[in-house]
Structures are given as C-alpha cells and as structure tokens.
Structure 1
Amino acid sequence: MTAYLTSIRAIILREALRFIHQRERFVAALVRPLVWLLVFAAGFRAALGLSIIPPYQTYITYETYIVPGLCGMILLFNGMQSSLSLVYDREMGSMKLLLTSPLPRGWLLFCKLLGSTAISILQVYAFLAIAAAFDIRMPGWGYVTVLPALIVAGLMLGALGLLLSSLIKQLENFAGVMNFVIFPMFFLSSALYPLWKMAESSELLHDICAVNPFTHAVELIRFALYVEWNGMALLWTVLAAGLFAAAALIGYDPERTRIGRRG
C-alpha cells in the first residue's frame, strides 16, 4: 500500500510541477474559452435564441448557456494536452521508465489520469471565477456540486486522451487528431447550442450529437452547476470512461506492443 501511495503522490507531483513550469499552458487553457464567452457569444446571442429547458427555470443569456460547455472544453483540451505529453514522454524514453515499474500498469496510468484531471479542474474553477467577474454567475451551491461532475467528466476525457496517446506514435500526427477527433467531438455536442436547435437543422446531426460522450459530459456539468441530478448523463459518461480506459490499457499492453513490433 505504501508503494501505491508513493507512486500516486510522485506522479501527481510531477504533473503539477510540469504544469507550473509551463505557465503558457495555463494561459492558453483560459484564453480559448474566454474568447468564446466574451467575443463569439456576443455575435451568436441574437442568432441562437434559447427556450426554457432543464435545468433552467427561466430564460437565460447565451453566455450563461455556454459556460458548462466551455468548462467541458477546458477538460477536453487539457485531456488532449495530456495525451500530447504522453506521446512526447514515450519518444524521450521517460514513459518507458515509468511503465517498467513493478506496480501494475493500470495503476500507473490511473495516476497519470488523476493528475491531469486535477489540473483540469483547477483550470475550470479559474475560468468560472473569471466568468463570475464578468457577471456570469451560477447558483452558489453549484460551484460545490459541480466538483463531482468535473471529476467524472475529466476522468472520461482524460481516458480518451490516454487511448489516443496509445495510438499516436509520433508528435507530428497530433495535428491530425485535433482536426478529426477533438474539434468534431466539441462542435457535435450540446456545448454551444441545445440539441433541439440542432434537430431543427438536421435529425442526423441531432442523433450524432445525442450519442457523443462529450454531450453527456457537458450536460452532467450543466445540471450539476444548477444543483440538479442528471442520472442518464452520469451513466453514459461513466460508461464512456470505462470503455476508453479499458481500450487504453489494451493499447499500452506490453505483449501487444511486442507482437506489433515483430509484425
């Protein structure tokens, strides 16, 4: 048990130190959602009228609607940033040293996942504080009840990052992942517009958005910010997290890697 606790403390501390030494990463993580909140929202406010939909009890501004989606954006892009760092560590050899530890490989990957999720959550709360400074506030208790939702959503998106890092062999391929995985996952969700609005345009796009795991992560955060329960969103987010984590474990399986090299 001591070895397990030492490993999780060391890995999380390493992730925290890396984050502290990369201040531009923190700034970039906040600039992206703030641009959407303060610039794009002003233009979309008139075009995307919103009806009263759960968990909202009254009409809201478009800026208020997209806050949960932008929280999800921070978790998503930070998960992909963690994926990029894993690919870099593998190329530099430090990932190999980590995975040759006598501890179970699944535990080591979980520690990496937990560290990146903790950093993502800190960035989300920093964003929520800046949004509140611009008079875009959530219910008081929502800042507390959203924490479990952020943990679940962060673990799911971090597990997706782990899966992608097991598939990406070179840093140069990361740009393709951004174009064909991250951006479609973000835009084909309820982060920027409600699903009923998407249904007015295309039933097919609505169905794609409805099965997108990122949609359920965003809705889990949205309901939690308003101190409401969304069991279906929680279920699908947890199932997606388990699926991504299991696939990542298979991707990092040493026997599979050795067979692939022989082939």
Structure 2
Amino acid sequence: MNIYFNCMKGIVYKELIRFIKQKSRFFSALVRPLLWLFIFSVGFKTALGLAITPPYETYITYETYIVPGLVGMVLLFNGMQSSLTMIFDREMGSMKILLSSYINRNYLLFCKMFATSIVSTIQAITFLLIAKWYGVDISFLAIVITIPVIIISSIILNAFALFLSSVIKQLENFATVMNFVIFPMFFLSSALYPLWKIKDSSILLFEISSYNPFTYIVEAIRFSLYLKFDIQVFLILGISLVITLIMAFVGFKSKKVNHG
C-alpha cells in the first residue's frame, strides 16, 4: 500500500513541478475563458435572452450563465493538453518505461489522470476567483463545494484524452483531433447557451447536445456553483466517469510495452 501511495505522490509531484515550471501553460489556459468572459459576453448578452431555468431562481446575466461552461473549457483544453503530453511521453520513452514497471498499469494511468486533474482544478479555481472579482455572483463556499465536481469532471476528460492518445499514431494528427473533437464537444453543449435555445433553432442539434457528455459536465458544475443538486445530471456524470476510465484502460492495454 505504501508503494502505491508513493507512486501516486510521485506522479502528482512531477505533474505539479512541470506545471510550475511552465508558467505560460497556466496563463494560456486562462486566456480563452477570460476572453469569452470579458469580451465575447459583452456582445452576446444583448442578443441572447435567458429564461429562468434550474439551478437559477431568478434572471441572470449572460456572464453568470457562461461561467460554468468556461470552467468546462479550462478542463477540456487541459485534458487535451495532457493527451499531447502523453504522446510526447510515449514517443520519448518515459511513459513506456513507467508502464512497464511491476505496478498495475491501470493504477498508473489513473494516477496520471488524477495528477492532471489537480493541475486543471488549480486553473479552474483561479478562473472562478477572477470571475467573482469581475462581478459574477459566486460564493466562496460554492467554489469549495464545486472542487470535487471539478476533479471528477477533469478525470473524465483526461480519461477520454488518454484514450485518444492511445489511438493517435502520429503527433501531427493531434491538430486534427483538436478540430474534430474539442470544438464540437464544446459548442454542441450548454456551455455558451441553454439547450432550449438550441432546440428553438434545430431539433437535430438539440438531440446531439443532449447526448453530449460535456453538457452534463457543464451542468454538474453549474448546479454545484449554485448549491443545487440534480440527480439525473450527477448520475450521468458518474456513468461517464466509469465509461471513460474503461475506455482509457482498454485503449492502453492494447498497446504492447516492451520490458527490455
């Protein structure tokens, strides 16, 4: 048990050290959501009407609505960044050596996902604090309570990213994955606009968005930030966690690792 704890601690420590040394990574992760919060929301809030929908009990500003989606943006892009890191590690041999150790491979992969989720959570909390400073109505208690949801959501996205990295054969294909996976997941969700708005425009897009797991990640964060609970949202979040972990484990199990 001590060995497994030390293994977890070592992987988390390595990821945090890498995060601290790569300060540009921290700031670049905040640029996208802050642009949406400070600039794009100004133009959209006059054009996009919002009805009173759960978890909100009164009319809200557009800035308030998109904050959970922008937290999801931080987690989504950081998850894909971890996929890129995994491709580098696999090609350079460091991850290959790690996975060939006597410690269970699935446990090592989970440690990698958990370590990345810690980094993502730090970035997400920083964004939430900036949003609160900007004037978005979020309590410090809500931010603290949302941390477990952010960690679980990040693990889901990291697991999906690790599955993709097990499928990607060439590093240059990563840009294609960015275009055909990340952006559809983000825009076909409730991150920037309510699903009922999508339904008014297109039933097909509404159906696709309703089956998009990222929608429920955003909604879980949204409900947590306003101290509400929706059993359907959190149940789907739990199912997504199990499915993506299985995908990541099976994806890397299919990779042969030489022990020589």
TM class by smaller structure: over 0.9
Q: What is the identity, as a one-letter code, of the residue corresponding to 2:38?
A: L
Conserved 8 A contact 1:162-1:245: no
| CA distance in 2: counterparts of 1:214 and 1:112, whole angstroms | 21
Alignment of 1:257 onto 2:227: no
Instruction: Find the counterpart in structure 2 of residue 39 from structure 1.
Output: 39
Provide the rounded CA distance (Å) in 1 between the counterparts of 2:255 and 2:26.
Answer: 34
Name the counterpart of 1:11.
11
1:79 aligns with 2:51: no
1:166 aligns with 2:159: no
Distance 1:258 1:113, change over 3 A: closer
In the alignment, is the contact (CA less than 8 A) between 1:160 and 1:241 conserved in 2?
no
Shift of residue 258, structure 1, vs aligned partner = 4.2
What is the rounded CA distance, in whole Å, between the counterparts of 2:19 and 2:137 in structure 1? 27
Q: Give CA-to-partner distance per residue, 1:14-71, whole Å, 9 cap, x none.
A: 1111111111100000011000001100010111110111111111100000000000
2:67 — aligned with what? 67
**What letter matches 1:257 in structure 2?**
K
- Aligned pair 1:198/2:223, yes or no? no
Deviation at 1:174, TM superposition (A): 0.6
**One-letter amino acid of the structure 1 residue matched with residue 210 of structure 2:** A
Which residue number corresponds to residue 231 of structure 2?
231
Task: Give the secondary structure class of the aligned counterpart of 2:6.
Answer: helix
Shift of 1:179: 0.4
Q: Deviations over 1:162-205 (max 9, x none)?
A: 11111112221110000000000000000000000000000110
Aligned AA for 1:119? V
Counterpart residue identity of residue 157, structure 2: L
Could you tell me which runs of 5 or more consecutive residues in structure 1 were left unpaired when the two chains were aligned: none
What secondary structure does 2:123 align onto?
helix
Q: Distance in 1 between matches of 2:219 and 2:226?
A: 11
Question: Displacement of 1:138 after TM fit?
Answer: 1.0
Amino acid at match of 2:238: V
The list of structure 1 runs, each at least 4 consecutive aligned residues, that deviate by more than 4 angstroms after superposition, is none
TM-score, structure 1 length as denominator? 0.95
TM-score by length of 2: 0.96
- Aligned-residue Cα RMSD (Å) equals 1.2
Structure 1 residues 190-229: Cα deviation after superposition (integer angstroms, max 9, x where no partner): 0000000000000110011011000000000000000001
State the 1:137 CA deviation.
2.7
Unaligned runs of 5+ in 2: none
1:102 matches 2:102: yes
Distance 1:168 1:218 in 2: 27
Q: Which residue of 1 aligns with 2:30?
A: 30
- Secondary structure of the corresponding residue to residue 193 of structure 1: coil
% identical aligned pairs: 52
1:80-139 Cα shifts (integer Å, max 9, x gaps): 111110000011110111101101000000000000001101001100111111111313
Q: Distance in 2 between matches of 1:238 and 1:166?
A: 23
Q: How does 1:104-143 map to 2 (within 5 A)?
A: 104-143=104-143
Equivalent pairs counted in the alignment come to: 257
- What amino acid maps onto 2:245 in structure 1? A
